Amino acid sequence: MHKRIDDVKLYIDGQFTDAESGAKFENINPFTNEVNNSVAEGREEDMNKAVAAAKKAFEEGPWGKLKVAERMIYINRIADLIDEEIEEIAYLESLDTGLPISQTRKMTARAAENFRFYARMVQTKLHGESYPVDDEFINYTVYKPLGPVGLITPWNAPFMLETWKVAPALATGNTVVLKPAELSPLTANKLAQVIDKADLPAGVFNIVHGFGETAGAALVAHQDVKAISFTGETTTGSIIIKNSADTLKKTSMELGGKSPLIVFDDADLDRALDAAVWGIFSFNGERCTANSRVFLHKNIKDEFVEKLKKRVMNIKIGDPMDSKTQLGPLIEKEHFNKVKSYIELAKEEGCEVIQGVVPEEVKAGNFVPPTLLLNAKNDMRVCQEEIFGPVMAVIEFETEEEVVEAANNVRYGLAGYVWTNDIKRGHRVAQAVEAGMLWVNAQNVRDLRIPFGGTKDSGIGREGGHYAIFEFYTEPKVIHVSIADHHIPQFGK
Ligand code: NAD
């Protein structure tokens, strides 16, 4: 039994505070389905306070006027404080989401690196260009922060995704209002505590917990919020774009996926197997870049499927707090029911369903065992819709042309994986698959410098590396300076 932990408040203008209405909601533990704690439920009036604090901190506070090196001292301090608390943060993340602790520890370390990375990026790379125009002008650009920005995040990798947005937003000099997912408030609250301890000026960073349709929508609609960076479902992304139109906000959309992993018959099958299994069953299958559709060449399909079946039976299902656990419970009952209903649908659509076994002693949790949907066809609903659980559809193919067409025959375009030892084919297929990110003979290993994001219904825009700091969290401003007496028309002289 896990202990009940401290209730969570909003963090506005440097203070931990209750919601104006006094409303709270319960935060449920996915492993026990008992209440972890209660969370202050922010609404429009709280969002207005948070945005006002962020605006004041941007316009009047010291944040925007600090020397870059001074601002980076704060950013690096946040990273150091996260490192000091990795165990606690990983514990809270696993408690909140059901993600196995061995995985949340790594995600937390990565979160600290997000801050260090953006501190380095901003110090070394965030500079403009100059455009000498003959001997008459020199034009140059400077990159300016936007102002108060709104960050809206999902529950599947909360701390990692929050820091992935907060770090570049703050490092470039913006002020922030974060609206974390209502299903995973614990580590967002920890981030507020860390930032409070790092002594950032009041109002630079604010958190309003609450529901999407109320707190989230109020952030999106707010006149003073200059941009929204959103990660979540495709349907939510499209609502947010619509709702941000009235105030002409800049938006960045990191949305859903249904990514293909293609194994040709000349591939290193053992490594492809490791990657396929990890890619769908890590993060409990609640992973935007998961290889939920696996295409196997017909010559190796039977052998590969036999090995997949063995792996599925051996994956260690259990308490997220046990460091040996590989697969934990899904975030909440409703999502658990959704994933289970897709498995039923797969049977109706004609798949053979192979599943691991959930141990009796953890039945109180929202466990869906690792699941294979064999004999799947790409046009089935289970191959077209994002299930967002530990469910892998296995589809046979014969030719390169056929597999590329099937891989692309889906609304999403986030990630893709190609396994082949034919170097030409590897590049060719990677270039032909419609997705923002492709890996050849590799699992999803990601350098922080690369552009992250999807195409088609998986997103608009890229974050990561210099894309976040140049293309999203700042705006170029050009300054034209005359260095000679160029011609100026003399109307009315
Ligand atoms: P979701 O869209 O339900 O919620 C995400 C966030 O949006 C939450 O904070 C929610 O409160 C908020 N929200 C909901 N309605 C809103 C509204 N009308 N206005 C403003 N905010 C609103 O997504 P989820 O279920 O939390 O996350 C899972 C989804 O996220 C999956 O589709 C997954 O693929 C996607 N995801 C994508 C990436 C990526 O980088 N592409 C990464 C992780 C997760």
Strand order across the beta sheet in which 10-12 lies: 15-17, 10-12, 205-207, 175-179, 148-152, 227-231, 250-254, 459-460
Tokens of 387: 């299930």
Q: Report the separation in Å between the CA atom of 180 and the middle of ligand 1, taken as the mean of its atom positions.
A: 9
Q: Which residue has the tokens 């026990």?
A: 32
- The arithmetic mean of pLDDT across residues 105-131, rounded, is 96
10 phi and psi angles, rounded to 5 deg: -75, 160
* pLDDT tens track for 234-271: 999 999 999 999 999 999 999 999 999 999 999 999 99
Residue 4 has a pLDDT of: 74
For the chain, give the percent of residues with pLDDT over 90: 98
Average pLDDT in the chain: 97
- The arithmetic mean of pLDDT across residues 151-168, rounded, is 98
- The arithmetic mean of pLDDT across residues 90-95, rounded, is 98
In short, whether 371's Cβ falls inside 6 Å of ligand 1 is no
Pick the CATH number of 10-255+458-479 from 3.30.70.380, 3.40.605.10, 3.30.70.1150, 3.40.50.12780: 3.40.605.10
Segments making up each domain of the chain, as ranges: 10-255+458-479, 260-440
Buried b or exposed e, range 334-363, using 16+ CB within 10 angstroms: ebbeebbebbebbeebebeebbbebeeebe
Residue 61 has a pLDDT of: 86
Q: Report the separation in Å between the CA atom of 179 and the middle of ligand 1, taken as the mean of its atom positions.
A: 11
CATH code given to domain 260-440: 3.40.309.10
Using most ligand atoms within 8 A of CB, pick from 288, 437, 463 the residue to mutate for ligand 1.
288
pLDDT for 413 beyond 60: yes
DSSP state of 408: H
Set 85, 254, 434, 463: catalytic member = 254
Task: Quickly list DSSP for 362-383.
Answer: GTTS-----EEEET--TTSHHH
Closest Cα to atom 18 of ligand 1: 213
pLDDT for 338 beyond 70: yes
Query: Does residue 254 have an active-site annotation?
Result: yes
Residue 3 has a pLDDT of: 66
Q: Report the separation in Å between the CA atom of 398 and the middle of ligand 1, taken as the mean of its atom positions.
A: 36
Closest Cα to atom 9 of ligand 1: 181
**pLDDT interval class at 288 (50, 70, 90):** very high
**pLDDT interval class at 1 (50, 70, 90):** very low
pLDDT for 64 beyond 90: no
CB 259 within 8 A of CB 368: no
* pLDDT tens track for 354-382: 999 999 999 999 999 999 999 999 999 99
Distance CA 103, CA 107 (A): 6
In short, whether 285's Cβ falls inside 6 Å of ligand 1 is no
In short, whether 412's Cβ falls inside 6 Å of ligand 1 is no
